[in-house]
Amino acid sequence: MINSGKQKVQRRLAAILAADVVGFSTQMGQDDEGTLAKIKSLRREIIEPRVSDHQGRVVKTTGDGFLAEFASPLEAVQCAAEIQRDLAARATQKPSQALHLRIGINIGDIIIEEDGDIYGDGVNVAARLEQLATPGGIWVSGKVYEEIRGKLPLSFEDKGEQQVKNIAKSIRVYNVSIASPQHTTFDSPHTTLSPPDMPSIAVLPFSNMSGDPEREFLADGMTEDLITGLSRLRWLLVISRTSTFVYKGKGIDVRQVARDLNVRYILEGSVRTSGKHIRITGQLIDAESGKHIWAERYDRLLEDVFAVQDEITENVVAAIEPHLYAEEGYRAQSKPPESVTTWGLVVSALTLSNKATRKSNEEAQVLLRRAISLEPSYARAYAVLSWATWWQTFCYWRPGEEGFREMGELAKHALAIDPSEPWGMMTYGFYLSTMGHHDRALEQMNGALGFNPSWALGRTMYGVALLRAGYFAEAVTETGKAIRMSPLDTFAGIYIAFHGLTLLGQRRFTEALSFLRRSVIAFPEFPGHHNALISCCGHLGLIEEAQAHIQHRNQIGPPITVSRLRFNLRHFAHCELFVEGLQKAGVPE
């Protein structure tokens, strides 16, 4: 074998972020030591943690800037937006530490040197975009925009074709509009930020109420875990710990903090320990009105600190997500129709579809189709329309074959736009489950929970898919976990209904009965809840109760028959057990 001794050039496609400090030379002339100290603080406290959070790599730093590489343009833009918001918040809180960046982002082929440095047109274009950007701004190339549009709660201003130095072809450029920096006047760091135009939250440092300084790590760990957990909600802007921890140990006015950080919601709480016991409280506040949206207390045994923190984090995130959706829906409904954003249309549609009436479902679909017409690349709109279509079909408001087919097509379209859209993965997975493709269904739905482990609704639907596939014990675990995570069932009783159904599938009829009875109270006009309760009553010999439910059931939907339900459930592992209960209850063939 002949070795030429010449090492092959290493190349790869990457998203490149280039940034520099605005007015660096002037600041150095006025106070060189102070300016360098501020830049070191900026790198240590904001840039390096943010780049790391988004799986990026700081390639190199210069006196007045830095260059970073990311595998994903979405991660690069998210990172840039968070850095700019952190800097805007710091300028408000610590005027003496104020620094402002210009940022440019591009995607391109890069050459990687042995020392890790990178070169190529991808890098050069990012550097030129950074020079064009306004102070506190982010400019991205058309390539980046095409990859991320519709995937982030950001708006983009088309700046047209730009000719940049040493690049032969002109470049399409977009300015990224984010919640804070564009409202800041850079020669006046005390300027009040405008109200946020997107869902955003700050988790304030939890208070250590134990009187033991050594327990401080529990409160800090709880806060950091909640920031991380909420950050998995891709529609929600979450302020970083570097910005919120400046309030640690201080008496604060949450409305002022919200103005400082430019957020809509504040989550605050406390941690108290006594012996082997720990109590964690939390409350969610609408920052503009000061209204308390949600509050809860969690009491646990302090046997495994990290396990307790993980469980509480999961429960808190799951519990407050539906409240945030509801608040965002109310906010959108209070605006003039012509000013509601696609996000506002989608959350309003969710609120409507979850009322589970035929009229509200139709209204939800109108809003979602309007959102799609306004922004055809918004994956979440297609995914939620798929969900609304499932509800419509599940409630017998349209023919089953037609409705489920459309549900699947909408979910697939959402995933074609964004393969990691959790609602798209969940609805497409449930469509596959309905069609009897259980292995593929479970893979999709489990993937959705990988992106958002605290999603109670996603976990409930995953439990039903497990039931259908014959994993009865696992199904009960998942639906039970969803109820513990989010005791507030905002989806017309389906959390308790589906937990009852999985218990029925595992032949735990007595336990199933109470959940199924509660489900028909929560949604009395839905035939499906009655079907499961009738089967359960049949297995328990409660024939008189079963007959009463059969009579009511036949008033709100097509008459129940064993053959119809056997056909509807033909792809599912619990079919025969379910049908057996119907037969025992006296349902006609």
Judge whether 10-183 and 335-453 match in fold. Answer: no
Which positions of the chain have pLDDT values less than 70?
A: 1-9, 25-30, 91-98, 153, 164-166, 168, 178-198, 242, 334-339, 487-492
* Domain parsing of the chain, residue ranges: 10-183, 200-331, 335-453, 472-589
The pLDDT score that the predictor gives to residue 339 is 61
- Topology given in CATH for the domain delimited by 335-453: 1.25.40
User: Are 553 and 534 within 8 A, CB to CB?
Assistant: yes
CA pair distance 464, 486, nearest whole angstrom: 17
Residue 69 parent element (H or E): strand 65-70
Please give the structure tokens belonging to residue 206.
């939890």
Helix 438-451 × helix 422-434 angle, to 10° = 160
CA pair distance 444, 427, nearest whole angstrom: 9
The pLDDT score that the predictor gives to residue 77 is 92
Best CATH choice for the domain 10-183 from the list 3.30.70.1230, 3.60.21.10, 3.30.420.40, 3.30.590.20: 3.30.70.1230
Residue 494 parent element (H or E): helix 494-505
State in Å, rounded, how far the first CA of the chain is from the last one: 78
The pLDDT score that the predictor gives to residue 198 is 66
Residue 106 parent element (H or E): strand 101-112
User: Dihedral (C-alpha) 499, 415, 154, 195: value to the nearest 10 degrees?
Assistant: -20
**Domain 472-589: CATH superfamily, name plus number:** Tetratricopeptide repeat domain (1.25.40.10)
The pLDDT score that the predictor gives to residue 469 is 96
The pLDDT score that the predictor gives to residue 121 is 81
- Topology given in CATH for the domain delimited by 200-331: Rossmann fold (3.40.50)
The pLDDT score that the predictor gives to residue 185 is 31
The pLDDT score that the predictor gives to residue 191 is 37
The pLDDT score that the predictor gives to residue 546 is 94
CA pair distance 45, 48, nearest whole angstrom: 7
User: Are 83 and 50 within 8 A, CB to CB?
Assistant: yes
CA pair distance 475, 508, nearest whole angstrom: 13
The pLDDT score that the predictor gives to residue 166 is 65
